Amino acid sequence: MNTGTELADYNVSMSNKLVRASHALKLVEKRLIAAAIAKVDSRKGQAVHAHLSQFQKLRITAQEFAETFGIDERNAYKELKAATDDLFNRYFTLTDYSKSKKHERYTKYRWIDAAKYAEGEGFVELSFTAHVYPHLHMLKREYTTYRLKNAAALRSTYSWRMYELAKSWLEHCTKTNKAVQLTLEQLRDTLETPDSYKWKDVRVRAIDPAIKEIAAKDNLIITYQTYKKGRAVAGINMFVKEDEQQDLFK
């Protein structure tokens, strides 16, 4: 539930399935999508699609965008327009398996089906597609919530996606006191690293810098160990916990 008066104080809530999907978004697009999601009350809605108007025409102003992400308001206008233009063609990818569980299946869905940029009025409006709805409303289990301002300070898409991924596994790690195993392919898909990246590139250019930035700007501590198949790194065992000491100073 969103109780703050400023956009930065709103919560971003998504199903874990959507959090762990491939989002295919640049940083400014990720910011805009997160801002729009933050304006959705994830506890409202019904299981039928007749009550989904709250997911339409979600308005984000240049002023609140600038204040939330710490950028100049004049630049916010430009960023919102560019992001709105590009978002119309962006999609996220969900992965599932055949009944035999021998084959992966990939399905692509568009994020939005309508986007309005109000020239000279300083706002944009986004309308999510019907495929996004189930991942944003009636969330009762297996979902991730975080305060928008806790991610707003992150300066790379890798950091933001690693933050969301870690948050989605925080409860599991806290309850079981065990790490979660993630394959290298899962990490590639979620962080969306270039296909040309070997494990060293993924670690040095994406994972390690993201973990470092998250530790500096939020109260999440992420640690991991690699595991191998043969001689090659096949993935990581990741453990997530909250830094209670850092939280005292917030």
Domain boundaries, the chain: 1-149, 153-250
Quote the pTM value.
Answer: 0.88
Task: Give the pLDDT score at 194.
Answer: 93
Distance between CA atoms of residues 250 and 186, nearest Å: 32
With bands split at pLDDT 50, 70 and 90, how would you rate the model's confidence at 137? confident
Q: Which of 92-106, 112-126, 160-174 is the least confident region?
A: 92-106
pLDDT at residue 12 is higher than 50 = yes
Helix (H, G, I), strand (E, B) or coil at 209: helix
DSSP state of 198: -
pLDDT at residue 228 is higher than 50 = yes
Q: Do domains 1-149 and 153-250 have the same CATH topology?
A: yes
Helix (H, G, I), strand (E, B) or coil at 113: strand
**Pairing relation of β-strands 11-15 and 143-147?**
antiparallel
The amino acid that residue 24 corresponds to is A
Task: Give the pLDDT score at 146.
Answer: 94
The amino acid that residue 25 corresponds to is L
Look up the CATH architecture of domain 153-250.
Answer: Orthogonal Bundle (1.10)
How far from 151 is each of 64, 68, 199, 221, CA to CA, in Å? Answer: 15, 10, 26, 14
Unique residue bearing structure tokens 């928008």:
148
Q: Residue 17: which region, alpha, beta or left (left: phi > 0; alpha: psi -120 to 50)?
A: alpha
With bands split at pLDDT 50, 70 and 90, how would you rate the model's confidence at 246? low
Look up the CATH architecture of domain 1-149.
Answer: Orthogonal Bundle (1.10)
